[in-house]
Structure 1
């Protein structure tokens, strides 16, 4: 299984959705044991005097990893992207060049993070929106922030969901507070609980609507029977 994973080719980057490519490429290089040569531009220690053949072989193998990391990056981009890093001599240099090219400077990145944090803060559930739909929208923003290297804990997301849904699901949230410390509730657990509450509410509405329809139909039937009885009685009186 490990051999099969190691042989998989990385996703080719064509200039779009850099954040997704970067996460996958980083995972791929880690799987190949090469990420440290991109992250730190690590070089193996020099050979000592009178090395053995085995030491020389291991040294040459380690020395080949940095160029190999650069080669993997070269083959994981299209020609148009490759032109931008073709002069880079190390994997780290090529990686940093792509990051700066497609994310921007630290100032640009900080602005992106600030805008996304504001979007996260202002995101509210719509009137007829389901819980899962809202959480999906929320997680889309969260993942964009995380891809920019900012840590967002699950606890922070749970608190955001609780605040946003407090009015609609106040009774359910109160029961959660009574049964478990909110700091220990996972996002998945919270969504499942709120989804169950939502389903029960919809079922009650359906039962209420069905009951109202049956009552209305019953009233119509009674009214029709009364009208028919009155007409029959009137007809009998006229015949006498």
Structure 2
């Protein structure tokens, strides 16, 4: 969304960067355009939290809080995801494609919270999680 606001030259309304922001004229218009652009892509469930905000900056800060959370919440989520990552096991009836998708989703969520997982460590974890029936393939890959 930030990219879209920057492309339409509306990001300054969200992050004015100083006291130059005024409630009259062009700056106020940019603020309303930025808020409108944000409102247009939000689902109705999330929109109820944003309508009462006075500026695009307040709307953006609310979105950041809703989707990123406080630092302690982010750390708790990261710890939960890392525990799931470390205890990852491929189910006996699970296909390789389904397991790969599950691993990729988990790794992407971990990376989104700021943890650095290298591709090599992800591949090693993937191979350790494979069931014994794939032992020959795992050995060949290693």
Q: Do they superpose with TM above 0.5?
A: yes
> Which blocks of at least 5 consecutive residues in structure 2 are unaligned?
none
Go from structure 1 to structure 2 and tell me whether the alpha carbon gap of 1:26 and 1:154 turns closer, same or farther (over 3 Å shift).
farther
Go from structure 1 to structure 2 and tell me whether the alpha carbon gap of 1:80 and 1:137 turns closer, same or farther (over 3 Å shift).
closer
Q: CA deviation at 1:79?
A: 5.5
Contact 1:166 1:173 in 2 (8 A): no
For 2:4, the equivalent position in structure 1 comes to: 28
> Which blocks of at least 5 consecutive residues in structure 1 are unaligned?
1-24, 47-59, 178-240
Aligned residue pairs total 138
For 2:16, the equivalent position in structure 1 comes to: 42
Within 2, Cα distance between the matches of 1:28 and 1:143? 22
Within 2, Cα distance between the matches of 1:31 and 1:167? 51
Q: CA deviation at 1:161?
A: 0.8
Q: Say whether residues 1:82 and 2:47 are aligned partners.
A: yes
Within 1, Cα distance between the matches of 2:129 and 2:109? 20
Q: Deviations over 1:137-169 (max 9, x none)?
A: 222322333444544443332221122238444
Go from structure 1 to structure 2 and tell me whether the alpha carbon gap of 1:132 and 1:79 turns closer, same or farther (over 3 Å shift).
closer
Q: Say whether residues 1:154 and 2:128 are aligned partners.
A: no
Q: Deviations over 1:86-130 (max 9, x none)?
A: 343433321221232355322122211111111111111122432
Within 2, Cα distance between the matches of 1:174 and 1:79? 51
Larger radius of gyration: 1
TM-score by length of 1: 0.45
Equivalent in 127, 143, 150 of residue 92 of structure 2: 127
Task: Give the structure, 1 or 2, with the largest relative contact order (CA under 8 Å, sep 6 or more).
Answer: 2
TM-score by length of 2: 0.67
* Aligned residues: CA RMSD: 3.5
For 1:165, the equivalent position in structure 2 comes to: 130
Q: CA deviation at 1:71?
A: 2.3
Within 1, Cα distance between the matches of 2:55 and 2:140? 57
Within 1, Cα distance between the matches of 2:114 and 2:64? 12
SS at match of 2:100: helix
Within 1, Cα distance between the matches of 2:62 and 2:90? 39
Within 2, Cα distance between the matches of 1:33 and 1:118? 42
SS at match of 2:16: coil
Equivalent in 67, 91, 109 of residue 74 of structure 2: 109
Bigger proportion of residues as helix: 1
Within 2, Cα distance between the matches of 1:88 and 1:30? 20
